[in-house]
Amino acid sequence: MFGQKIAVERVSFYVKKGEIFGFLGPNGAGKTTTIRMLTALLVPDNGEIIIDGIDISKHPVQAKLRLGVIPETSNIYADLTARQNIILSGRFYGLTRKRLKARTDELLDKFGLYDRRDDTAKTFSKGMKQKLSIASAIIHEPPILFLDEPTSGLDVQSQRFIRAIVKDMNAKGTTVFLTTHNIEEANLLCERICIINNGRIAAIDSPEKLKRTFQKTQSIEIAFESMVTDNLFADQNFTEKIEKLGDKWKLYTAEPDKLIKHLITLAKANDLTITSLQICGASLEEAFLEITKDKSYAVREIQ
Amino acid sequence: MQSEKSNNLFIRSVAAVTEKNILIYYTKAPVIIFGLLFPLFIFLAFYLGRDVDLRSFFPGLLAMSLFFTASSVGPLITPWEKQAGTYERLLSFPVSINTVILGDIAAGMLFGLSINMVVLIAGLVFFNYAAHFVTLVLAMLIASFCFSSLGVLLASPSGRSPSHIMMFSSLIRFPLIFISGILIPLEKLHGTGRFLAYLSPITYLVNIFNSGFNGKSYLPLPVSWIMLAIFTTAFIFLSNILHKKNLLKGL
Protein backbone atom coordinates (compact mmCIF):
# COMPACT_ATOMS: atom_id res chain seq x y z
CA MET A 1 0.00 0.00 0.00
CA PHE A 2 1.15 3.55 -0.75
CA GLY A 3 -0.82 5.76 1.65
CA GLN A 4 -4.45 4.83 1.03
CA LYS A 5 -3.77 3.39 -2.42
CA ILE A 6 -3.42 -0.35 -2.87
CA ALA A 7 -0.64 -0.75 -5.44
CA VAL A 8 -0.87 -4.53 -5.83
CA GLU A 9 -3.27 -7.01 -4.28
CA ARG A 10 -3.47 -10.79 -4.12
CA VAL A 11 -0.50 -11.17 -6.45
CA SER A 12 0.39 -14.84 -6.25
CA PHE A 13 2.51 -16.84 -8.68
CA TYR A 14 5.52 -19.14 -8.85
CA VAL A 15 8.43 -19.25 -11.24
CA LYS A 16 9.92 -22.62 -12.06
CA LYS A 17 13.63 -23.18 -11.71
CA GLY A 18 15.36 -22.62 -15.06
CA GLU A 19 12.35 -20.88 -16.59
CA ILE A 20 12.17 -17.54 -18.43
CA PHE A 21 9.11 -15.93 -16.90
CA GLY A 22 7.63 -12.81 -18.45
CA PHE A 23 5.87 -10.17 -16.41
CA LEU A 24 3.72 -7.83 -18.48
CA GLY A 25 1.29 -5.08 -17.77
CA PRO A 26 0.29 -1.60 -18.85
CA ASN A 27 1.84 1.47 -17.24
CA GLY A 28 0.81 1.80 -13.61
CA ALA A 29 -0.40 -1.81 -13.39
CA GLY A 30 1.94 -2.67 -10.52
CA LYS A 31 4.90 -4.22 -12.35
CA THR A 32 7.59 -2.08 -10.77
CA THR A 33 6.01 -2.37 -7.31
CA THR A 34 5.95 -6.16 -7.68
CA ILE A 35 9.55 -6.35 -8.87
CA ARG A 36 10.64 -4.05 -6.04
CA MET A 37 8.99 -6.39 -3.54
CA LEU A 38 10.60 -9.40 -5.19
CA THR A 39 14.03 -7.77 -4.92
CA ALA A 40 13.57 -6.62 -1.28
CA LEU A 41 13.40 -2.92 -2.03
CA LEU A 42 9.83 -2.86 -0.74
CA VAL A 43 8.34 -4.95 2.04
CA PRO A 44 4.80 -6.16 1.32
CA ASP A 45 2.14 -5.35 3.93
CA ASN A 46 0.92 -8.93 3.74
CA GLY A 47 1.99 -12.24 2.27
CA GLU A 48 5.36 -13.81 1.71
CA ILE A 49 7.93 -13.97 -1.05
CA ILE A 50 10.17 -17.01 -1.22
CA ILE A 51 13.26 -16.73 -3.40
CA ASP A 52 15.19 -19.97 -3.83
CA GLY A 53 13.78 -21.21 -0.52
CA ILE A 54 14.51 -17.98 1.40
CA ASP A 55 11.86 -15.62 2.73
CA ILE A 56 13.11 -12.34 1.29
CA SER A 57 11.23 -10.18 3.81
CA LYS A 58 12.99 -11.94 6.71
CA HIS A 59 16.42 -12.48 5.15
CA PRO A 60 16.78 -9.87 2.40
CA VAL A 61 20.57 -9.88 2.22
CA GLN A 62 20.83 -13.68 2.02
CA ALA A 63 18.15 -13.75 -0.69
CA LYS A 64 19.77 -10.92 -2.65
CA LEU A 65 23.05 -12.87 -2.79
CA ARG A 66 21.22 -15.26 -5.14
CA LEU A 67 19.88 -12.53 -7.38
CA GLY A 68 21.18 -10.49 -10.25
CA VAL A 69 19.00 -7.41 -10.62
CA ILE A 70 18.80 -4.92 -13.44
CA PRO A 71 16.19 -2.40 -12.24
CA GLU A 72 14.21 -0.33 -14.73
CA THR A 73 15.57 3.04 -13.64
CA SER A 74 18.95 1.61 -12.84
CA ASN A 75 22.12 3.04 -14.14
CA ILE A 76 25.77 2.24 -13.88
CA TYR A 77 28.13 4.73 -12.25
CA ALA A 78 28.92 7.15 -15.07
CA ASP A 79 32.11 8.44 -13.42
CA LEU A 80 33.59 4.97 -13.05
CA THR A 81 35.21 3.03 -15.88
CA ALA A 82 33.63 -0.12 -17.27
CA ARG A 83 36.12 -2.21 -15.31
CA GLN A 84 35.55 -0.29 -12.07
CA ASN A 85 31.77 -0.70 -12.40
CA ILE A 86 32.02 -4.48 -12.74
CA ILE A 87 34.62 -4.79 -9.97
CA LEU A 88 32.49 -2.69 -7.63
CA SER A 89 29.56 -5.07 -8.15
CA GLY A 90 31.80 -8.06 -7.53
CA ARG A 91 32.98 -6.61 -4.21
CA PHE A 92 29.44 -6.72 -2.84
CA TYR A 93 29.25 -10.44 -3.54
CA GLY A 94 32.58 -11.24 -1.93
CA LEU A 95 34.37 -12.62 -4.97
CA THR A 96 38.06 -13.28 -4.32
CA ARG A 97 40.51 -10.88 -5.96
CA LYS A 98 41.64 -13.53 -8.46
CA ARG A 99 38.13 -14.64 -9.33
CA LEU A 100 36.96 -11.04 -9.62
CA LYS A 101 39.70 -10.17 -12.09
CA ALA A 102 39.05 -13.28 -14.18
CA ARG A 103 35.26 -12.71 -14.24
CA THR A 104 35.67 -9.01 -15.04
CA ASP A 105 37.92 -9.73 -18.03
CA GLU A 106 35.60 -12.52 -19.16
CA LEU A 107 32.51 -10.28 -19.01
CA LEU A 108 34.20 -7.28 -20.63
CA ASP A 109 35.20 -9.55 -23.47
CA LYS A 110 31.81 -11.28 -23.75
CA PHE A 111 29.94 -7.96 -23.83
CA GLY A 112 32.31 -6.39 -26.35
CA LEU A 113 33.57 -3.78 -23.88
CA TYR A 114 37.15 -4.97 -23.41
CA ASP A 115 38.67 -2.31 -25.68
CA ARG A 116 36.80 0.39 -23.73
CA ARG A 117 37.44 -1.15 -20.28
CA ASP A 118 39.29 1.89 -18.93
CA ASP A 119 36.92 4.51 -20.35
CA THR A 120 34.40 6.11 -18.01
CA ALA A 121 30.85 4.90 -18.58
CA LYS A 122 29.63 8.44 -19.29
CA THR A 123 31.32 8.20 -22.71
CA PHE A 124 29.31 5.06 -23.60
CA SER A 125 26.25 4.78 -25.84
CA LYS A 126 22.94 3.70 -24.30
CA GLY A 127 23.43 0.15 -25.61
CA MET A 128 26.94 -0.08 -24.14
CA LYS A 129 25.68 1.24 -20.80
CA GLN A 130 22.97 -1.40 -20.71
CA LYS A 131 25.49 -4.12 -21.58
CA LEU A 132 27.68 -2.88 -18.75
CA SER A 133 24.69 -2.81 -16.43
CA ILE A 134 23.93 -6.46 -17.20
CA ALA A 135 27.60 -7.47 -16.97
CA SER A 136 27.77 -5.85 -13.51
CA ALA A 137 24.61 -7.62 -12.39
CA ILE A 138 25.83 -11.10 -13.37
CA ILE A 139 29.41 -10.88 -12.07
CA HIS A 140 28.56 -13.43 -9.34
CA GLU A 141 26.78 -15.81 -11.77
CA PRO A 142 23.42 -15.54 -9.99
CA PRO A 143 20.98 -18.46 -10.22
CA ILE A 144 18.11 -15.96 -10.60
CA LEU A 145 18.11 -12.90 -12.82
CA PHE A 146 15.61 -10.03 -12.66
CA LEU A 147 15.47 -7.85 -15.75
CA ASP A 148 13.20 -4.82 -15.76
CA GLU A 149 12.76 -3.49 -19.32
CA PRO A 150 16.23 -4.62 -20.42
CA THR A 151 15.94 -3.61 -24.07
CA SER A 152 13.88 -0.47 -23.72
CA GLY A 153 15.13 2.30 -25.99
CA LEU A 154 17.96 0.25 -27.49
CA ASP A 155 18.82 -0.26 -31.16
CA VAL A 156 17.99 -3.57 -32.85
CA GLN A 157 21.55 -4.92 -32.60
CA SER A 158 21.75 -4.24 -28.86
CA GLN A 159 18.29 -5.72 -28.31
CA ARG A 160 19.29 -8.91 -30.11
CA PHE A 161 22.57 -9.09 -28.23
CA ILE A 162 20.85 -8.77 -24.85
CA ARG A 163 18.22 -11.36 -25.77
CA ALA A 164 21.00 -13.72 -26.82
CA ILE A 165 22.76 -13.18 -23.47
CA VAL A 166 19.51 -13.89 -21.59
CA LYS A 167 18.91 -17.05 -23.62
CA ASP A 168 22.50 -18.15 -23.10
CA MET A 169 22.30 -17.66 -19.32
CA ASN A 170 18.98 -19.46 -19.21
CA ALA A 171 20.45 -22.37 -21.19
CA LYS A 172 23.11 -22.63 -18.47
CA GLY A 173 20.42 -22.89 -15.79
CA THR A 174 19.67 -19.31 -14.75
CA THR A 175 16.05 -18.59 -13.92
CA VAL A 176 14.99 -15.34 -15.58
CA PHE A 177 12.24 -12.99 -14.46
CA LEU A 178 11.68 -10.55 -17.29
CA THR A 179 9.55 -7.43 -17.11
CA THR A 180 8.96 -5.85 -20.48
CA HIS A 181 6.70 -3.60 -22.49
CA ASN A 182 7.92 -5.32 -25.62
CA ILE A 183 5.35 -8.03 -26.15
CA GLU A 184 7.21 -9.53 -29.07
CA GLU A 185 10.24 -9.89 -26.82
CA ALA A 186 8.15 -11.72 -24.23
CA ASN A 187 6.73 -13.90 -27.00
CA LEU A 188 10.21 -14.80 -28.23
CA LEU A 189 11.84 -15.41 -24.86
CA CYS A 190 9.33 -16.48 -22.27
CA GLU A 191 8.03 -19.92 -21.46
CA ARG A 192 5.24 -18.47 -19.38
CA ILE A 193 3.82 -15.00 -19.12
CA CYS A 194 2.04 -13.29 -16.27
CA ILE A 195 -0.11 -10.28 -17.11
CA ILE A 196 -0.83 -7.85 -14.30
CA ASN A 197 -3.54 -5.23 -14.55
CA ASN A 198 -4.71 -2.72 -11.95
CA GLY A 199 -2.56 -4.33 -9.29
CA ARG A 200 -3.98 -7.82 -9.81
CA ILE A 201 -2.89 -10.77 -11.86
CA ALA A 202 -5.07 -11.00 -14.93
CA ALA A 203 -3.57 -14.06 -16.60
CA ILE A 204 -0.69 -16.51 -16.34
CA ASP A 205 0.09 -18.96 -19.12
CA SER A 206 2.34 -19.81 -22.03
CA PRO A 207 2.33 -17.24 -24.87
CA GLU A 208 0.71 -19.65 -27.32
CA LYS A 209 -2.10 -20.58 -24.93
CA LEU A 210 -2.77 -16.95 -24.20
CA LYS A 211 -2.98 -16.23 -27.93
CA ARG A 212 -5.32 -19.15 -28.52
CA THR A 213 -7.68 -17.86 -25.87
CA PHE A 214 -8.25 -14.86 -28.10
CA GLN A 215 -8.65 -16.58 -31.45
CA LYS A 216 -11.53 -14.25 -32.30
CA THR A 217 -8.95 -11.62 -33.00
CA GLN A 218 -7.54 -13.38 -36.09
CA SER A 219 -6.89 -11.05 -38.98
CA ILE A 220 -6.10 -10.92 -42.70
CA GLU A 221 -3.40 -8.62 -44.00
CA ILE A 222 -3.74 -7.66 -47.63
CA ALA A 223 -1.86 -5.28 -49.94
CA PHE A 224 -2.66 -4.30 -53.52
CA GLU A 225 -0.35 -3.01 -56.23
CA SER A 226 -2.42 0.15 -56.52
CA MET A 227 -3.80 2.26 -53.70
CA VAL A 228 -7.35 1.50 -52.53
CA THR A 229 -9.63 3.11 -49.96
CA ASP A 230 -11.61 1.42 -47.21
CA ASN A 231 -14.71 1.77 -49.39
CA LEU A 232 -13.46 -1.31 -51.19
CA PHE A 233 -14.21 -3.41 -48.09
CA ALA A 234 -17.51 -1.78 -47.29
CA ASP A 235 -19.86 -4.24 -48.94
CA GLN A 236 -19.31 -7.32 -46.73
CA ASN A 237 -20.04 -8.36 -43.15
CA PHE A 238 -17.15 -10.70 -42.31
CA THR A 239 -14.94 -8.08 -40.69
CA GLU A 240 -15.17 -6.67 -37.20
CA LYS A 241 -12.61 -3.94 -37.68
CA ILE A 242 -10.48 -2.56 -40.52
CA GLU A 243 -7.09 -0.89 -40.05
CA LYS A 244 -4.72 0.71 -42.54
CA LEU A 245 -1.11 -0.23 -41.81
CA GLY A 246 1.20 1.66 -44.19
CA ASP A 247 0.54 0.24 -47.68
CA LYS A 248 -1.47 -2.68 -46.25
CA TRP A 249 -4.93 -3.23 -44.84
CA LYS A 250 -5.61 -5.36 -41.81
CA LEU A 251 -9.09 -6.85 -41.51
CA TYR A 252 -10.07 -8.49 -38.22
CA THR A 253 -12.44 -11.41 -38.63
CA ALA A 254 -13.89 -14.49 -37.01
CA GLU A 255 -14.23 -16.15 -40.46
CA PRO A 256 -10.87 -15.88 -42.23
CA ASP A 257 -11.73 -18.44 -44.93
CA LYS A 258 -14.86 -16.60 -46.07
CA LEU A 259 -13.09 -13.25 -45.93
CA ILE A 260 -10.17 -14.44 -48.09
CA LYS A 261 -12.57 -15.80 -50.73
CA HIS A 262 -14.44 -12.52 -50.67
CA LEU A 263 -11.23 -10.48 -51.03
CA ILE A 264 -10.11 -12.51 -54.04
CA THR A 265 -13.50 -11.98 -55.66
CA LEU A 266 -13.21 -8.26 -54.92
CA ALA A 267 -9.74 -8.06 -56.47
CA LYS A 268 -10.95 -9.81 -59.62
CA ALA A 269 -14.02 -7.63 -59.92
CA ASN A 270 -12.02 -4.41 -59.52
CA ASP A 271 -9.05 -5.57 -61.60
CA LEU A 272 -6.68 -5.20 -58.63
CA THR A 273 -3.38 -7.07 -58.28
CA ILE A 274 -2.81 -8.56 -54.82
CA THR A 275 0.86 -8.13 -53.81
CA SER A 276 0.57 -9.86 -50.45
CA LEU A 277 -2.06 -11.72 -48.50
CA GLN A 278 -1.62 -13.48 -45.19
CA ILE A 279 -3.63 -14.82 -42.29
CA CYS A 280 -2.38 -13.51 -38.97
CA GLY A 281 -3.23 -15.58 -35.93
CA ALA A 282 -4.14 -13.85 -32.74
CA SER A 283 -1.01 -12.07 -31.59
CA LEU A 284 0.19 -11.88 -28.04
CA GLU A 285 -0.18 -8.13 -28.31
CA GLU A 286 -3.86 -8.54 -29.08
CA ALA A 287 -4.28 -11.02 -26.25
CA PHE A 288 -2.53 -8.54 -23.95
CA LEU A 289 -4.78 -5.70 -25.04
CA GLU A 290 -7.85 -7.87 -24.59
CA ILE A 291 -6.82 -8.92 -21.09
CA THR A 292 -5.80 -5.47 -19.91
CA LYS A 293 -8.77 -3.54 -21.30
CA ASP A 294 -11.10 -5.14 -18.77
CA LYS A 295 -10.51 -3.73 -15.30
CA SER A 296 -12.49 -6.44 -13.58
CA TYR A 297 -10.70 -9.29 -15.30
CA ALA A 298 -10.68 -12.32 -13.07
CA VAL A 299 -7.59 -14.37 -12.41
CA ARG A 300 -7.09 -16.68 -15.32
CA GLU A 301 -4.93 -19.73 -15.16
CA ILE A 302 -5.68 -21.75 -18.25
CA GLN A 303 -3.65 -24.83 -17.39
CA MET B 1 29.82 -19.76 11.49
CA GLN B 2 26.72 -18.30 9.84
CA SER B 3 26.97 -15.19 11.99
CA GLU B 4 30.68 -14.81 11.11
CA LYS B 5 29.79 -15.04 7.41
CA SER B 6 27.08 -12.40 7.85
CA ASN B 7 29.51 -10.10 9.67
CA ASN B 8 32.09 -10.54 6.91
CA LEU B 9 29.47 -9.75 4.31
CA PHE B 10 28.38 -6.65 6.23
CA ILE B 11 31.93 -5.32 6.67
CA ARG B 12 32.79 -6.12 3.04
CA SER B 13 29.69 -4.29 1.82
CA VAL B 14 30.35 -1.23 4.02
CA ALA B 15 33.90 -1.17 2.61
CA ALA B 16 32.53 -1.43 -0.95
CA VAL B 17 30.10 1.48 -0.41
CA THR B 18 32.92 3.55 1.16
CA GLU B 19 35.25 2.79 -1.74
CA LYS B 20 32.53 3.68 -4.24
CA ASN B 21 31.88 7.01 -2.52
CA ILE B 22 35.56 7.90 -2.34
CA LEU B 23 36.09 7.01 -6.00
CA ILE B 24 33.05 8.87 -7.26
CA TYR B 25 32.42 11.77 -4.90
CA TYR B 26 35.50 12.55 -2.82
CA THR B 27 38.46 12.21 -5.18
CA LYS B 28 37.18 14.82 -7.60
CA ALA B 29 39.51 17.79 -8.01
CA PRO B 30 36.91 20.41 -6.99
CA VAL B 31 36.04 18.50 -3.81
CA ILE B 32 39.68 18.10 -2.77
CA ILE B 33 40.46 21.72 -3.60
CA PHE B 34 37.40 22.81 -1.60
CA GLY B 35 38.56 20.61 1.28
CA LEU B 36 42.05 22.07 1.28
CA LEU B 37 41.11 25.67 0.61
CA PHE B 38 38.26 25.80 3.09
CA PRO B 39 40.44 25.77 6.24
CA LEU B 40 42.65 28.41 4.62
CA PHE B 41 39.65 30.63 3.89
CA ILE B 42 38.38 30.24 7.46
CA PHE B 43 41.82 31.15 8.71
CA LEU B 44 41.97 34.25 6.50
CA ALA B 45 38.39 35.28 7.33
CA PHE B 46 39.12 35.29 11.04
CA TYR B 47 42.67 36.56 10.90
CA LEU B 48 42.80 39.33 8.31
CA GLY B 49 42.15 42.79 9.72
CA ARG B 50 41.38 41.52 13.21
CA ASP B 51 43.30 41.50 16.38
CA VAL B 52 42.93 37.79 17.06
CA ASP B 53 45.22 35.52 19.00
CA LEU B 54 45.42 32.75 16.43
CA ARG B 55 47.17 30.40 18.80
CA SER B 56 44.18 30.32 21.13
CA PHE B 57 41.71 30.48 18.23
CA PHE B 58 43.23 27.57 16.26
CA PRO B 59 41.34 24.78 18.11
CA GLY B 60 38.05 26.43 17.11
CA LEU B 61 39.20 26.86 13.51
CA LEU B 62 40.23 23.22 13.30
CA ALA B 63 36.88 22.11 14.75
CA MET B 64 34.99 24.27 12.24
CA SER B 65 37.07 22.95 9.35
CA LEU B 66 36.55 19.34 10.47
CA PHE B 67 32.82 19.94 10.83
CA PHE B 68 32.49 21.39 7.34
CA THR B 69 34.66 18.91 5.48
CA ALA B 70 33.26 15.78 7.19
CA SER B 71 29.62 16.84 6.73
CA SER B 72 29.82 18.55 3.33
CA VAL B 73 29.43 15.72 0.78
CA GLY B 74 27.34 13.26 2.82
CA PRO B 75 24.06 15.17 2.37
CA LEU B 76 24.50 15.09 -1.41
CA ILE B 77 25.35 11.45 -2.09
CA THR B 78 21.80 10.09 -1.81
CA PRO B 79 20.12 12.78 -3.97
CA TRP B 80 22.94 12.52 -6.53
CA GLU B 81 22.47 8.75 -6.69
CA LYS B 82 18.68 9.04 -6.91
CA GLN B 83 19.05 11.59 -9.69
CA ALA B 84 21.55 9.45 -11.60
CA GLY B 85 19.45 6.29 -11.19
CA THR B 86 22.21 4.45 -9.32
CA TYR B 87 20.49 4.31 -5.92
CA GLU B 88 18.13 1.49 -6.84
CA ARG B 89 21.07 -0.47 -8.26
CA LEU B 90 22.99 0.06 -5.02
CA LEU B 91 20.04 -1.25 -3.00
CA SER B 92 19.73 -4.27 -5.29
CA PHE B 93 23.14 -5.47 -4.10
CA PRO B 94 23.15 -7.71 -0.99
CA VAL B 95 23.10 -4.73 1.37
CA SER B 96 20.75 -3.24 3.94
CA ILE B 97 20.11 0.46 4.40
CA ASN B 98 22.47 0.35 7.41
CA THR B 99 25.28 -0.80 5.13
CA VAL B 100 24.71 2.16 2.82
CA ILE B 101 24.47 4.60 5.75
CA LEU B 102 27.69 3.34 7.35
CA GLY B 103 29.52 3.35 4.01
CA ASP B 104 28.47 6.96 3.43
CA ILE B 105 29.53 7.91 6.96
CA ALA B 106 32.89 6.18 6.63
CA ALA B 107 33.67 7.99 3.37
CA GLY B 108 32.84 11.41 4.88
CA MET B 109 34.85 10.57 7.97
CA LEU B 110 37.93 9.56 5.96
CA PHE B 111 37.67 12.74 3.86
CA GLY B 112 37.33 14.98 6.91
CA LEU B 113 40.17 13.20 8.69
CA SER B 114 42.61 13.21 5.78
CA ILE B 115 42.13 16.92 5.02
CA ASN B 116 42.22 18.01 8.64
CA MET B 117 45.21 15.90 9.61
CA VAL B 118 47.13 18.20 7.25
CA VAL B 119 45.61 21.23 9.05
CA LEU B 120 46.38 19.73 12.47
CA ILE B 121 50.01 19.02 11.63
CA ALA B 122 50.40 22.48 10.05
CA GLY B 123 48.93 24.04 13.22
CA LEU B 124 51.17 22.00 15.52
CA VAL B 125 54.26 22.97 13.56
CA PHE B 126 53.30 26.62 13.05
CA PHE B 127 52.07 27.41 16.57
CA ASN B 128 54.49 25.11 18.39
CA TYR B 129 51.91 23.69 20.85
CA ALA B 130 52.89 21.29 23.58
CA ALA B 131 49.84 19.34 22.49
CA HIS B 132 48.47 16.00 23.60
CA PHE B 133 48.62 14.43 20.16
CA VAL B 134 46.75 11.19 21.01
CA THR B 135 43.80 13.12 22.48
CA LEU B 136 43.64 15.35 19.42
CA VAL B 137 43.72 12.46 16.94
CA LEU B 138 41.15 10.48 18.95
CA ALA B 139 38.90 13.54 19.12
CA MET B 140 39.25 14.05 15.36
CA LEU B 141 38.36 10.40 14.75
CA ILE B 142 35.22 10.50 16.88
CA ALA B 143 34.16 13.99 15.80
CA SER B 144 34.63 13.30 12.08
CA PHE B 145 32.48 10.17 12.52
CA CYS B 146 29.88 12.26 14.34
CA PHE B 147 29.86 15.12 11.79
CA SER B 148 29.80 12.71 8.85
CA SER B 149 26.80 10.98 10.49
CA LEU B 150 25.07 14.35 10.63
CA GLY B 151 25.81 14.80 6.91
CA VAL B 152 24.22 11.44 6.12
CA LEU B 153 21.24 12.26 8.34
CA LEU B 154 20.73 15.50 6.39
CA ALA B 155 20.52 13.41 3.19
CA SER B 156 17.57 11.42 4.55
CA PRO B 157 14.68 13.61 3.30
CA SER B 158 16.18 13.68 -0.20
CA GLY B 159 14.38 13.05 -3.44
CA ARG B 160 16.09 13.53 -6.77
CA SER B 161 17.10 17.15 -6.31
CA PRO B 162 20.53 17.80 -4.75
CA SER B 163 19.88 21.57 -4.67
CA HIS B 164 17.02 21.16 -2.18
CA ILE B 165 19.22 19.17 0.16
CA MET B 166 22.06 21.66 -0.28
CA MET B 167 19.81 24.45 1.04
CA PHE B 168 18.42 22.28 3.83
CA SER B 169 21.93 21.21 4.80
CA SER B 170 23.20 24.81 4.96
CA LEU B 171 20.17 25.75 7.01
CA ILE B 172 21.15 23.23 9.67
CA ARG B 173 24.95 23.28 9.51
CA PHE B 174 25.62 27.04 9.65
CA PRO B 175 23.49 27.65 12.77
CA LEU B 176 25.26 24.74 14.48
CA ILE B 177 28.51 26.70 14.05
CA PHE B 178 27.04 30.01 15.19
CA ILE B 179 25.52 28.56 18.35
CA SER B 180 28.62 26.54 19.25
CA GLY B 181 31.41 27.79 21.46
CA ILE B 182 33.69 28.59 18.52
CA LEU B 183 32.96 32.25 17.89
CA ILE B 184 32.33 33.11 21.54
CA PRO B 185 34.02 30.89 24.14
CA LEU B 186 31.67 28.98 26.44
CA GLU B 187 32.84 30.79 29.56
CA LYS B 188 31.67 34.10 28.05
CA LEU B 189 28.23 32.77 27.11
CA HIS B 190 25.29 33.09 29.48
CA GLY B 191 21.64 32.04 29.62
CA THR B 192 20.09 31.09 26.28
CA GLY B 193 23.41 31.49 24.48
CA ARG B 194 25.05 28.88 26.64
CA PHE B 195 22.01 26.60 26.48
CA LEU B 196 22.10 26.76 22.67
CA ALA B 197 25.85 26.10 22.65
CA TYR B 198 25.20 22.81 24.45
CA LEU B 199 22.94 21.77 21.54
CA SER B 200 25.80 21.82 19.05
CA PRO B 201 28.19 18.84 18.87
CA ILE B 202 30.96 21.23 17.77
CA THR B 203 30.97 22.77 21.26
CA TYR B 204 32.18 19.50 22.77
CA LEU B 205 34.88 19.02 20.15
CA VAL B 206 36.18 22.55 20.74
CA ASN B 207 36.27 21.78 24.44
CA ILE B 208 38.37 18.63 23.85
CA PHE B 209 40.62 20.50 21.38
CA ASN B 210 41.17 23.30 23.91
CA SER B 211 42.27 20.69 26.41
CA GLY B 212 44.46 18.88 23.85
CA PHE B 213 46.16 22.03 22.55
CA ASN B 214 46.30 24.32 25.58
CA GLY B 215 45.60 22.04 28.53
CA LYS B 216 42.49 24.12 29.40
CA SER B 217 38.86 23.09 29.06
CA TYR B 218 35.64 24.63 30.33
CA LEU B 219 33.55 21.44 30.49
CA PRO B 220 34.81 18.23 32.11
CA LEU B 221 36.43 16.14 29.36
CA PRO B 222 34.39 12.94 30.02
CA VAL B 223 31.20 14.98 29.44
CA SER B 224 32.49 16.12 26.04
CA TRP B 225 33.43 12.59 24.96
CA ILE B 226 30.06 11.25 26.12
CA MET B 227 28.15 14.06 24.40
CA LEU B 228 29.96 13.41 21.10
CA ALA B 229 29.09 9.71 21.43
CA ILE B 230 25.43 10.57 22.19
CA PHE B 231 25.19 12.92 19.19
CA THR B 232 26.77 10.25 16.94
CA THR B 233 24.37 7.56 18.14
CA ALA B 234 21.38 9.86 17.71
CA PHE B 235 22.44 10.88 14.18
CA ILE B 236 22.89 7.24 13.11
CA PHE B 237 19.65 6.14 14.75
CA LEU B 238 17.65 8.92 13.07
CA SER B 239 19.42 8.30 9.75
CA ASN B 240 18.33 4.69 9.88
CA ILE B 241 14.70 5.58 10.51
CA LEU B 242 14.47 8.46 8.03
CA HIS B 243 16.44 6.85 5.22
CA LYS B 244 14.17 3.79 5.48
CA LYS B 245 11.10 6.02 5.46
CA ASN B 246 12.24 7.96 2.41
CA LEU B 247 13.87 5.04 0.62
CA LEU B 248 11.65 5.18 -2.45
CA LYS B 249 11.23 8.96 -2.55
CA GLY B 250 12.49 10.14 -5.92
CA LEU B 251 13.17 6.67 -7.34
Comparing alpha-carbon positions, the chain B residue that sits nearest to A42 is B248
The residue among B132 and A91 whose pLDDT is bigger is: A91
For B153-202, the pLDDT digits (tens) are 999 987 778 888 888 998 999 899 989 878 788 888 888 889 999 999 99
Opening angle at CA A241, ends A239 and A242, nearest 5? 95
For residue A10, what pLDDT is reported?
Answer: 82
Annotated domain spans of chain B: 2-245
Which of B 14-43 lie inside 8 A of A, CB atoms?
15-16, 19-20, 23-24
Q: How far apart are CA A146 and CA A129, in angstroms?
A: 17
For B108-165, the pLDDT digits (tens) are 999 999 999 998 998 888 888 877 889 999 999 999 999 999 999 999 987 778 888 8
3-state secondary structure B76-90: HHHHHHHHHCCHHHH
The residue among B17 and B163 whose pLDDT is bigger is: B17
> B6: which chain A residues are within 8 Å (Cβ-Cβ)?
61
Q: How far apart are CA B145 and CA B141, in angstroms?
A: 6
For residue A214, what pLDDT is reported?
Answer: 64
Q: How far apart are CA A107 and CA B7, in angstroms?
A: 29
Interface residue of B13, B93, B249 to substitute, partner A, most A CBs within 10 Å: B93
Q: How far is A168 from chain B (nearest CA, A)?
A: 23
Number of A to B CB contacts under 8 A, please give it.
74
Of A230, A228, A239, the C-alpha closest to A275 is A228
- Asked if A71's CB is within 8 angstroms of B8's CB, the reply is no
Q: Is the pLDDT of residue A74 over 60?
A: no
Comparing alpha-carbon positions, the chain B residue that sits nearest to A133 is B89
Q: Is the pLDDT of residue A297 over 50?
A: no
For residue A223, what pLDDT is reported?
Answer: 93
Q: Is the pLDDT of residue A174 over 90?
A: yes
The yes/no answer to whether this complex scores an ipTM above 0.90 is no
Q: Is the pLDDT of residue A296 over 50?
A: no
Q: How far apart are CA A160 and CA A188, in angstroms?
A: 11
CB A49 within 8 A of CB A55: yes
Mean pLDDT of A191-213: 85
For residue B197, what pLDDT is reported?
Answer: 92
CB A279 within 8 A of CB A13: no
Comparing alpha-carbon positions, the chain A residue that sits nearest to B87 is A74
For A240-264, the pLDDT digits (tens) are 888 888 889 988 888 888 889 999 9
How confident is residue A298, by pLDDT bands cut at 50, 70 and 90? very low
How confident is residue A299, by pLDDT bands cut at 50, 70 and 90? very low
In order of A21, A145, A169, B121, the CA distances from A148 in angstroms are 12, 10, 16, 52
Longest dimension (CA), chain B: 64
> What is the dotted CATH code of the domain comprising A20-207?
3.40.50.300
How confident is residue B1, by pLDDT bands cut at 50, 70 and 90? low
Mean pLDDT of A183-212: 86
- Asked if A75's CB is within 8 angstroms of B6's CB, the reply is no
Q: Is the pLDDT of residue B235 over 90?
A: yes
Chain B CB within 8 Å of residue A91 CB: yes
